């Protein structure tokens, strides 16, 4: 039987349609939660990091860590492994992981006009019309960013992405389920040798993509009959060296006969290709109100492949940590508003796994003792030798990584 993918706007009767469809067929539901759990098993990444792949918001550190892209690769692998079974319905964000090259897939979209969705949200969530509209727009933004990342299509409800679009403001739940069932019997959707081969090609491509991600690379990967094509979409200075490294990794994957590389349409954009080194600190938060100093420090760390984000005061630093936890902080003591010692105290209470390096030009011996008692990893004075700071950062990062492995 064909695979079903079902993508729905929020408050468009997705759950009752799925419940009706599954109760009347022998299909098994594969949800976002199911694939997230499997991706966690495959990757060893935290569930919240996998789940962030579905969010329109991108971590400030992501350009250094590629965590969102790595999570997506493992979600693809989880989906590809499921495709070896029959009678599946992929629902939610996961429905868009199945490539268009696989023909035995019925791609369904449930959507409705805004008036209907707002009414449903008010009834289901007990909220006002204004709150409902805001919630729906935020959820639609997540879906739009996800679809654009995977397909390069900005409208998540674009008809080119689906075989059937069902307007749920005009369609009853039973009618929607019946329409989906009727289309399952069409000859064009039946599994063939060619469509099954497309599943095998998809699985090989994502296996290669995951192996490259393990080595810190993020590139587009395709496969056909054992020939793997790797597309580099960001500018790189030593292109030949990168191509050889990518080929070397890909050729070790079982089933790969040959590998070719090419540059993509975004290769000549301003962004630079950066391989992620898992052993080098790339989630560093710099907190200092001396803007010129901290900007220069961030640039010097980047020259050593250490990714950092800057906050110019204690309040901004605490807000950022609440939404996007760094691994290591470099923290000044003398700042307006919330000073460095208070920031350190709050961070070690709320996020004790973050290692904090104090870097100050005005601290006393008493300050040093206070900071170390509060749990600072190190206490350094300005001006600091960049090699000493780099080495201290690496040691702090090693401690963080060791702690994560143990937990």
Q: At what angle do helices 67-82 and 32-43 cross, to 10 degrees?
A: 110
pLDDT of residue 323: 85
- DSSP H stretches of helix in 218-363: 239-250, 291-303, 314-323, 340-350
pLDDT band at 269 (very low <50, low <70, confident <90, very high): low
pLDDT of residue 407: 46
Reported as a single tens digit per residue, the pLDDT across 323-337 is 888 999 999 999 989
pLDDT of residue 398: 92
Strands 220-224 and 164-167, how do they pair?
unpaired
Average pLDDT of span 78-107: 95
For the chain, where do the domains classified as CATH 3.30.300 start and end?
193-263
Average pLDDT of span 369-386: 95
Tell me the C-alpha distance between 117 and 113, whole Å.
6
Mean pLDDT of the chain: 93
- Answer positive or negative: Cα dihedral of 259, 205, 263, 62: negative
Average pLDDT of span 342-359: 96
pLDDT of residue 358: 96
144: nearest Cα among 34, 27, 10, 288: 10
Reported as a single tens digit per residue, the pLDDT across 167-223 is 999 999 999 999 999 999 898 898 899 999 999 999 999 999 999 999 989 899 999
CATH topology assigned to domain 193-263: GMP Synthetase; Chain A, domain 3 (3.30.300)
pLDDT of residue 404: 66
Average pLDDT of span 268-286: 74
Please give the span between the terminal C-alpha atoms of the chain, in angstroms, as a whole number. Answer: 42
Higher local confidence (pLDDT), 303 or 30: 30
Beta carbons within 10 angstroms of residue 97's beta carbon = 23
Average pLDDT of span 287-291: 95
Average pLDDT of span 287-300: 94
Could you tell me what percent of the chain has a pLDDT over 90? Answer: 82
Q: How many residues does the chain have?
A: 407
pLDDT of residue 267: 66
pLDDT band at 9 (very low <50, low <70, confident <90, very high): very high
pLDDT value at 72 more than 80: yes
Higher local confidence (pLDDT), 91 or 1: 91
For the chain, where do the domains classified as CATH 3.40.50.300 start and end?
3-189
Residues 6+ apart with CB under 8 A from 263: 231, 232, 233, 239
Reported as a single tens digit per residue, the pLDDT across 110-150 is 999 999 999 999 999 999 999 999 999 999 999 999 999 99
Higher local confidence (pLDDT), 60 or 252: 252
pLDDT value at 375 more than 90: yes
Reported as a single tens digit per residue, the pLDDT across 33-68 is 999 999 999 999 999 999 999 999 988 888 888 899
Is 3-189 in CATH node 3.10.450.710? Answer: no
pLDDT of residue 405: 52
284-406 CATH, one of 3.10.20.30, 3.90.950.10, 3.40.50.2300, 3.30.390.50: 3.40.50.2300
For the chain, where do the domains classified as CATH 3.40.50.2300 start and end?
284-406
Q: How many CA atoms lie within 13 A of 68 on its CB side?
A: 18
pLDDT value at 278 more than 80: no
Tell me the C-alpha distance between 170 and 149, whole Å.
30
């Amino acid at each position: 039987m064909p695979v079903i993918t079902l993508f729905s706007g929020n408050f468009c009767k997705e759950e009752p349609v799925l419940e009706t469809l599954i109760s009347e067929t022998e299909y098994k539901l594969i949800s976002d939660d199911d694939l997230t759990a499997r991706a966690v098993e495959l990757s060893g990444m935290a569930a919240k990091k996998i789940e962030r792949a579905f969010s329109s918001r991108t971590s400030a550190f992501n350009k250094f860590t590629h965590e969102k892209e790595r999570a997506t690769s493992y979600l693809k692998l989880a989906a590809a492994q499921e495709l070896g079974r029959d009678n599946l319905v992929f629902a939610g964000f996961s429905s868009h992981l199945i490539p268009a090259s696989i023909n035995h897939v019925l791609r369904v979209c449930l959507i409705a006009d805004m008036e209907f969705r707002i009414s449903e949200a008010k009834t289901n969530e007990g909220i006002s019309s204004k709150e409902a509209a805001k919630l729906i727009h935020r959820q639609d933004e997540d879906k739009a960013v996800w679809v654009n990342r995977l397909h390069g299509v900005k409208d998540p409800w674009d008809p080119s992405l689906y075989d059937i679009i069902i307007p749920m403001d005009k369609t009853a739940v039973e009618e929607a389920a019946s329409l989906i069932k009727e289309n399952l019997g069409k000859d064009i959707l039946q599994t063939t040798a060619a469509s099954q081969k497309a599943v095998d090609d998809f699985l090989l491509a994502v296996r290669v993509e995951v192996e490259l991600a393990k080595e810190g690379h993020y590139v587009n990967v395709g496969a056909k009959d054992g020939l793997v094509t790797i597309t580099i979409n960001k500018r790189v200075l030593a292109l030949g060296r990168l191509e050889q490294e990518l080929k070397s990794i890909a050729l070790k994957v079982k089933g790969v006969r040959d590998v070719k590389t090419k540059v993509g349409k975004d290769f000549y954009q301003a962004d630079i290709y950066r391989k992620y080194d898992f052993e080098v600190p790339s989630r560093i938060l710099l907190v200092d109100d001396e803007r010129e100093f901290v900007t220069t420090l961030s640039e010097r760390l980047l020259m050593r492949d250490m990714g950092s984000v800057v906050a110019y005061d204690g309040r901004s630093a605490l807000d950022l940590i609440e939404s996007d936890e760094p691994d290591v902080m470099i923290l000044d003591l003398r700042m307006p508003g919330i000073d460095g010692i208070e920031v350190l105290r709050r961070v070690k209470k709320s996020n004790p796994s973050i290692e904090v390096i104090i870097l100050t030009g005005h601290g006393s011996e008493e300050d040093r003792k206070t900071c170390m008692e509060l749990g600072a990893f190190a206490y350094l004075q300005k001006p600091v030798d960049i090699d000493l700071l780099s080495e201290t950062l690496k040691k702090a990062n090693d401690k963080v990584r060791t702690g994560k492995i143990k937990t």
